[in-house]
Amino acid sequence: MIRQVEANGVRLNVAVAGSGPAVLLLHGFPHTWQLWREVLPTLAEQYRVIAPDLRGLGGSSRPADGFDAGTTAADFSALLDALGEPSAAVVAIDLSVAGALLLAAREPERVRRLVLMESLPGGFPAGGPPWWFGFHAVPGLAETILNGHEAEYVGWFLDQGTLGRGVPPEIQAAFTDAYTGPDALRCAFDYYRAMPESVRQVNAARLTVPTMAIGAHPIGAALEKQLRPIADDLVGQVLPGCGHLIPLDRPRELLDLLLPFLARDILSGCR
C-alpha cells in the first residue's frame, strides 16, 4: 500500500506492507522505494516493511533545503512517529546511509538493528570519489546539462550498478520518471551539495546498535573499514559478483544476509 505521510515538514511517499516488527528500507540515487521491490515481499512475511521515497525524490515533496544527513535522520524518526512505530530495524543504501547512521547514533533506542550498504560520505577507496560527485555538487550545473537526457543518465547508473545486467524495464522506467525535470534533478543533486555538512555530522557520531555493513563492486569492504572505529557491534559482509545496486542485482543473496541478522528481533520477542 502506498501512503502519503507528513513527517518533519515534508510529505513522504511511502510503501507499507506486512505486519510485525518494523523494518525501514531507505534508498539512494537514482532510485525510489521501488529499489526494494524484489526483497520487500519476503520481508513483509515477518515484518511491517516501511519503504519511503527520500525527501525531494520520487513521489515525495520537493523542499528547497534539508538534504543533509541530520535533517534526513529527523525525517526518518518523524516517519516512524507518524506510523506509530517506536522503533525499527533500519536498512539503508547509498545516499540514505549517512542519515540512517545519524538516526542510530542520535536515537539508538529507535534503531534495533542497522544495515548499511555501499556508501558513506568520505569513505571512498584510494583515488577519491567517483567523477559524478563533483559534477553533481556544482550548484545548478548538472540539472541544466541533463535536462532532457534523464533517461540516458539514469540508465547508465542502472547498467553500471548491475555490472551490465540491467534492471526490469518497468523499474528503469519508474526511476527515469522520478528523476525527470530540473526540479527533480535539483533535489537529487542537493544531497551531494550537502555532503560537506553531512560529513561533519557523521564524523561526530558513534554507533552502539548492532550494525551490519554490506559491500559490493566497486566499494568492497571500504564501508566496513570506515565504520570500524565508530561502531561497537559491527559485522562486515561483501557480496562477490554483485554490483552497487544490491537489492535489485542480488536480492536473494541480500535476503540471505538480512533475514538471519533481523531474525534476532523475533527471537527476542521484539514488537
Give ∠ CA 223-60-162 in degrees, rounded to 5: 40
Residue in 26, 82, 90, 85 with CA at minimum distance from that of residue 58: 26
Instruction: State the average pLDDT for the chain.
Output: 94
pLDDT beyond 50 at 1: yes
pLDDT band at 125 (very low <50, low <70, confident <90, very high): low
**Mean pLDDT computed over 52-66:** 98
pLDDT beyond 70 at 124: no
pLDDT band at 268 (very low <50, low <70, confident <90, very high): low
112 CB-side CA count, 13 A: 21
**% the chain with pLDDT above 90:** 90
pLDDT beyond 80 at 126: no
Cα separation, 60 vs 107, in Å, equals: 24
56, 87 Cβ separation under 8 angstroms? no
pLDDT beyond 90 at 119: no
Q: What is the pTM of this model?
A: 0.95
Residue in 33, 100, 29 with CA at minimum distance from that of residue 60: 33
Rama region for 121: left / alpha / beta (φ>0; ψ in -120 to 50; rest) = beta
Q: In a 10 Å sphere around its CB, with 0-12 CB exposed, 13-18 middle and 19+ buried, how is residue 34 labelled?
A: buried
Residue in 149, 26, 142 with CA at minimum distance from that of residue 90: 26
pLDDT band at 271 (very low <50, low <70, confident <90, very high): very low
Residue in 223, 230, 228, 235 with CA at minimum distance from that of residue 261: 235
Four-way CATH pick for 2-125+197-267: 2.60.40.10, 2.40.50.1040, 3.40.50.1820, 3.30.70.1890: 3.40.50.1820
